[in-house]
C-alpha cells in the first residue's frame, strides 16, 4: 500500500503528465504560478477527500435524459456527469462543482434541482438504488489556498480541518418535472435568439453567499461585455463618467489564472 507521501508523489507525476498532454493538445502552457495553484488544488483536494476518493466505485458516470419537450415544442436532452460510491448496500451520488462552499450554500436550491434530475435518471430510469446525494465543492477556501501557496503545513492542517466541501442535498422527486420545464424554457430562449442581458441593478447587486457583484463575478469573464449595453451602463456608473476609468473596465482581462482558464475552456470543446 502506498504511503501518504508516496501517493502525493504519484499525484504530482500524473499532474505533470496531464499538463504536458494538455500543452501538446492546445499549444499553450500555463504560467508557473497558475500551474502551481492547480497542483496545490489537486493535492489539497486529495488530502481532504481521500476517504471519498478511495471509495468511489463508478467515476464520471454520464447520465442522460433524452427526448424532452420544451414549452415551445422543441426537443432537447439533459446530460450530466456524477460519481457514485456503493458501500455496504448504500449508494451515494456526488456531483462535483468547481464553486466555493459559501456560494453553493447560498444558492442551494439551484444545485438541488440539478442534482435531483440526475438522481431521477439514476433511480427511476436506470432502476438503480440511491440512498444519498451530495455536492462536492472543489474550490479551496482562501485561507487554505494561502497556506498551501506558502507551504505552511501547520496552517494547512488547521484550514483543512475547517473546510467542509461535502454538502448533502435532499432528494425531492416532486421538483424534477418543474426543473426539466425550466431547462426547456432556457432552450426556447436560446433557440429563439432571446439574449437580452439582465438590467443594471442586477449587475450591481452582490451575489448571494459572496462578496462579489454579478458584474465582478460573471460579466468580468464574459466576452460579450464589449458590446453589452448593461455592462456599459455598469462601467459608466462605476467610473462616474471619467473616460480613463471607464476604459479600465473594458481593458480588464483578469489575472493570469483567469486568462488561462478561459483559454483552456475555449480549447476544451
CB 200 within 8 A of CB 169: no
List, in order, residues 6 or more apart from 137 with CB less than 8 Å away.
Answer: 97, 98, 99, 100, 101, 104, 165, 167
Phi, psi dihedral angles at 28 (to 5 degrees): -125, 145
Nearest distance from C-beta of residue 221 to ligand SF4, angstroms = 8
By CB under 6 A, tell whether 222 contacts ligand SF4.
yes
Nearest distance from C-beta of residue 42 to ligand SF4, angstroms = 29
Nearer to ligand SF4, 67 or 227 (CB): 227
Burial label for 126, CB within 10 Å (0-12, 13-18, 19+), is exposed
Nearer to ligand SF4, 164 or 223 (CB): 223
Closest CA to 173 of 134, 111, 117: 117
Size of the site for ligand SF4 (CB under 6 A): 10
Phi-psi group of 254: left, alpha or beta (phi > 0 → left; psi -120 to 50 → alpha; rest → beta): left
Cell of 210: 459572496
- Calculate the dihedral angle through the C-alpha atoms of 22, 26, 32, 33, rounding to the nearest 10 degrees: -90
Cell of 17: 503528465
- Exactly one of 41, 108, 146, 197 binds ligand SF4 (CB under 6 A); that residue is 197
Question: What is the C-alpha to C-alpha distance for residues 44 and 155, in angstroms, rounded to an integer?
Answer: 12
By CB under 6 A, tell whether 37 contacts ligand SF4.
no
Nearest distance from C-beta of residue 68 to ligand SF4, angstroms = 26
Q: Restricting to residues 176-195, name those near ligand SF4 by CB under 6 A.
A: none
Nearest distance from C-beta of residue 162 to ligand SF4, angstroms = 32
The single residue listed with the C-alpha cell 450530466 is 80
Nearest distance from C-beta of residue 228 to ligand SF4, angstroms = 3
Closest CA to 252 of 223, 227, 212: 223
Nearer to ligand SF4, 38 or 207 (CB): 207
Nearer to ligand SF4, 80 or 197 (CB): 197
Instruction: Show the binding pattern over residues 224-253: x = contacts ligand SF4 (CB under 6 A), - = does not.
Output: xx--x-xx----------------------
Nearer to ligand SF4, 222 or 242 (CB): 222
Nearer to ligand SF4, 197 or 209 (CB): 197
Nearest distance from C-beta of residue 213 to ligand SF4, angstroms = 10
- Exactly one of 198, 233, 239, 263 binds ligand SF4 (CB under 6 A); that residue is 198
Cell of 253: 482581462
Identify the helix (H) or strand (E) that includes residue 92. Answer: strand 90-97
By CB under 6 A, tell whether 205 contacts ligand SF4.
no
Nearer to ligand SF4, 80 or 198 (CB): 198
Residue ranges in contact with ligand SF4 by CB under 6 A: 197-198, 218-219, 222, 224-225, 228, 230-231
Amino acid at each position: 500500500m502506498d504511503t501518504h507521501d508516496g501517493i502525493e508523489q504519484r499525484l504530482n507525476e500524473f499532474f505533470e503528465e496531464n499538463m504536458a498532454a494538455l500543452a501538446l493538445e492546445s499549444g499553450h502552457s500555463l504560467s508557473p504560478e497558475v500551474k502551481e495553484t492547480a497542483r496545490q488544488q489537486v493535492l489539497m483536494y486529495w488530502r481532504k477527500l481521500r476517504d471519498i476518493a478511495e471509495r468511489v466505485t463508478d467515476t464520471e458516470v454520464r447520465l442522460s435524459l433524452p427526448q424532452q419537450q420544451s414549452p415551445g415544442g422543441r426537443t432537447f436532452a439533459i446530460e450530466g456527469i456524477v460519481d457514485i460510491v456503493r458501500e455496504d448496500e448504500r449508494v451515494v451520488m456526488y456531483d462535483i462543482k468547481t464553486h466555493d462552499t459559501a456560494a453553493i450554500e447560498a444558492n442551494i436550491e439551484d444545485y438541488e434541482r440539478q442534482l435531483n434530475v440526475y438522481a431521477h435518471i439514476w433511480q427511476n430510469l436506470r432502476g438503480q438504488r440511491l440512498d444519498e446525494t451530495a455536492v462536492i465543492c472543489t474550490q479551496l477556501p482562501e485561507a487554505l489556498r494561502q497556506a498551501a501557496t506558502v507551504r505552511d503545513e501547520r496552517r494547512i492542517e488547521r484550514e483543512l480541518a475547517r473546510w467542509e466541501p461535502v454538502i448533502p442535498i435532499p432528494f425531492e422527486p416532486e421538483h424534477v418535472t418543474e426543473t426539466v420545464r425550466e431547462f426547456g424554457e432556457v432552450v426556447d430562449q436560446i433557440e429563439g435568439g432571446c439574449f437580452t442581458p439582465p438590467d443594471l441593478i442586477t449587475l450591481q447587486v452582490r451575489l448571494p453567499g459572496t462578496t462579489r457583484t454579478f458584474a465582478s463575478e460573471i460579466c468580468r469573464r464574459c466576452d460579450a461585455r464589449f458590446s453589452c449595453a448593461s455592462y456599459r451602463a455598469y462601467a459608466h456608473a462605476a467610473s462616474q463618467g471619467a473616460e480613463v476609468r471607464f476604459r479600465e473596465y473594458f481593458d480588464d482581462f483578469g489575472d493570469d489564472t483567469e486568462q488561462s482558464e478561459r483559454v483552456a475552456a475555449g480549447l476544451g470543446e
